[in-house]
Amino acid sequence: MTPSEFNSLRDMLNKESGLVLSEDKQYLVESRLGPVAKKLEYKDVATMVSEWHSSKKASLQNQIVEAMTINESFFFRDKTPFDNFKDYTLPNLIKSKATSKHIRIWSAAASTGQEAYSLAMVLNEHKHLLQGWRVEIIGTDLCSEALAKAKSGLYSQFEVQRGMPVTYLVKNFKQVGTMWQLDSNITSMVQFRQFNLMNSFTGLGKFDVIFCRNVLIYFNRETKSDILKRMEAQCNNGCHLVLGASETLVGLNGNYTPVANARGLYEHNREAAVKNEKQSTNFKESPTHKTGTGGLSFTR
Amino acid sequence: MKQCLIVDDSSVIRKVARRIMEEANFEITEAEDGQQALEACRSQMPDVILLDWNMPVMDGLEFLRELRKDPCGDIPKVIFCTTENDMDHITQAIAAGANEYIMKPFDKEIIISKLKEVGMVEA
């Protein structure tokens, strides 16, 4: 792949998906696009990128974007977020939503569905506490192929073993040949939709819990701030935001407060949001105000 | 250092498992069948056991049932590690007191994730 092809690929990925690919990430291109090149019968990744570069064929471009943005996913990945969900978020919701009895959860980078289904399995364990409740889990992802797999609820032996306690396997899956099929009482709890985080969130509705793990790392600071800001608008009061183990909100503005003793868990602070929104309005009117990076500099 | 007993009649599997467990900072002992494993446990209970199912002399399930009857036999976390990959075997193993179950082939990630599950490495 020539430097100009690589650069043009980076530009396109950034424009189409917000993905930031630094110069040292050429290996990532090789490893993620290898299977696509093979499937489409190109000699190698370089040949395929070269073909895309000269033709800009939409179908090829879509497959490249999808493959580059796919997330590695497994059941109960990192364990802690699901323990936090069970021990902290769920008891909280059962209290705070006692009147409406309606919980909405967003898995914002659903990929092949394991995160959303892990949450569904946890909720199913607690169904005695949720009699008469309506629980919606929405899984969104950019990649249609990943979502097709998510919808099928069919996983390989490798996939059902990574991170998932065997008791969950016994309770929630049936063996189909060499594969494992999630039971319909779990799959029916989750809806999957193809969705780009760069687009407006309004149509998704409001949420009580947002899992957005290991997605923001791919974006630059401004885009991260922008996504977090737009997510705030989809937050019900006290909405919990869950980030990946290696992610923080440090240096990013937004009205989320870390929850004590629950790594990666944040609570949306509506009062601060309203207050900051007012300040921001005042701030913007000030003639000395210079536009900062990102849309959230006013919270400082 | 935590102790791990690897029980498998295949020396190749024992070697692969040993390498993964040593990397995860376990001290390893090995046994080739259930009988040897039972003797090893009776001389010193390990913290965790990786257990094959099909072995000569005494198979994994029989070993586990015997182990759980022993005084202090409930101490080791037992992770089955077998080519038996159907629901019947899995439920039998759990009923006999297995803490986790790995269907072969396994890799390092699967073993580590199961060790986390039984609290033998930090999550």
Residue-wise pLDDT for B99-121, tens only, equals: 999 998 888 888 998 999 999 98
Q: Which fold has domain B2-117?
A: Rossmann fold (3.40.50)
Collapsing DSSP states into helix, strand and coil, what is residue B5? Answer: strand
Collapsing DSSP states into helix, strand and coil, what is residue B91? Answer: helix
Nearest CB neighbour to A80, from listed B107, B114, B123: B123
- Residue type (1 letter), A159: E
A198 pLDDT more than 70: yes
When scoring B83, B88, B117, B121 by the number of chain A Cβ atoms within 10 A, the one with the most, hence best to mutate, is B117
B84 pLDDT more than 90: yes
For the stretch A127-138, what's the b/e string if a residue is b when 16 or more beta carbons lie within 10 angstroms of its beta carbon? eeebeebebebb
What integer best gives the mean pLDDT of chain A? 86
pLDDT level of residue A18 (50, 70, 90 thresholds): low
Q: What gap in Å lies between CA B64 and CA B24, rounded to an integer?
A: 24
Q: Does the distance separating the beta carbons of A161 and B90 come in below 8 Å?
A: no
Q: What gap in Å lies between CA B9 and CA B29, rounded to an integer?
A: 13
Compare all CA atoms of chain A with the CA of B107 and give the residue at the minimum distance: A158
Residue found under tokens 């944040």: A266
- Å from A114 to nearest chain B CA? 15
Nearest to A140 by CA among A207, A191, A186: A191
Provide mean pLDDT across the span A143-168: 89
Residues of chain A within CATH 1.10.155.10 domain(s) are 3-69
Q: Which homologous superfamily is A80-272 in?
A: Vaccinia Virus protein VP39 (3.40.50.150)
* Residue B59 vs residues A104, B45, B52, B97: alpha-carbon distances, Å: 48, 19, 8, 15
Instruction: Confirm if A130 and A100 have CB atoms less than 8 A apart.
Output: no
pLDDT tens, B16-56?
999 999 999 999 999 999 999 999 999 999 999 999 999 99
Q: Does the distance separating the beta carbons of B113 and A80 come in below 8 Å?
A: no
CATH (one of 1.10.260.30, 1.10.155.10, 3.50.30.10, 1.20.1250.20) for A3-69: 1.10.155.10
Q: At A62, which helix (H) or strand (E)?
A: helix A58-69
Higher pLDDT, A167 or A22: A167
Q: For residue A144, what pLDDT is reported?
A: 85
Residues of chain A within CATH 3.40.50.150 domain(s) are 80-272
Q: Does the distance separating the beta carbons of A169 and B113 come in below 8 Å?
A: no
